[in-house]
Amino acid sequence: MENTNPISERSPDETETHAAPAADSAASGPPPSPPELPVLRSQSSLSIIQCRALEQLMTGQSMSAAARGAGVARATLYRWLNEDADFRAAHNAWQKDTMAAARSSILALTEPAIRAVAAALEAGDAKIGMTLLKSVGLLTPPAPGSTDAEDVKKEQQIEQKRKETNLFLANLEAGFPEGRKDRAERK
């Protein structure tokens, strides 16, 4: 179905005075609480319509539903995401906050998860035991090194040069002239 809303082709500044349709929010029940519209407005240079669209996205609406809820075409919402730095930054900030909150929630479950794994292991659950061993890398044998002493010496020399190079680069980045001096002395 084509969106014939005249708001969809206007710039964000022109759309600020139009009211957004409320059909989607009434039909889908109470969504999770996103930041209030005034909070979004005070934190950015977004138009009211852009704030409404972002609010819709924050409640978990699809791009199409968020665009409808804000009274704009879906293409307008995609254009804002792709071309409007302020809108994209606000959207990115919301995603970043959401991911941080999810990560915190998952970290809070670490201790119960460890207890559950321990209980499963104690109950003899071989599958979870193998999964745990595999995830920490204990089932992947380390690759054996060379059996030729000359090759081992070369590998050791290469490792030593790598360490020296890393130290030299760290000294240069820190602004220590010793890095340049050491290199000149070796030549």
Span 25-48, pLDDT tens digits: 444 444 444 455 445 555 568 899
Whether residue 30 is found in the same domain as residue 119: no
Stated pTM of the model: 0.46
Whether residue 52 is found in the same domain as residue 121: no
Whether residue 62 is found in the same domain as residue 94: yes
55-86: per-residue pLDDT in tens? 999 999 999 999 999 999 999 999 999 999 98
**Domain residue limits at 154:** 149-186
Whether residue 78 is found in the same domain as residue 31: yes
Whether residue 49 is found in the same domain as residue 113: no
113-148: per-residue pLDDT in tens? 889 988 998 999 989 888 888 888 888 887 888 888
Distance CA 19, CA 27 (A): 18
Q: Is the pLDDT of residue 180 over 50?
A: yes
Whether residue 89 is found in the same domain as residue 154: no
Whether residue 101 is found in the same domain as residue 15: yes
Domains: count for the chain: 3
Residue 1 lies in a domain: no
Whether residue 12 is found in the same domain as residue 91: yes
Whether residue 56 is found in the same domain as residue 97: yes
Residue 162 lies in a domain: yes
Whether residue 44 is found in the same domain as residue 123: no
Residue 27 lies in a domain: yes
Distance CA 106, CA 177 (A): 46
Residue 89 lies in a domain: yes
pLDDT band at 187 (very low <50, low <70, confident <90, very high): low
Residue 86 lies in a domain: yes
CB 121 within 8 A of CB 129: yes
* pLDDT on residue 139: 82
Residue 164 lies in a domain: yes
Residue 26 lies in a domain: yes
Cα-Cα-Cα-Cα dihedral of 54, 55, 57, 63, to 10°?
-70
Whether residue 70 is found in the same domain as residue 81: yes
Of 91, 16, 3, 1, give the one whose Cα is nearest residue 47: 16
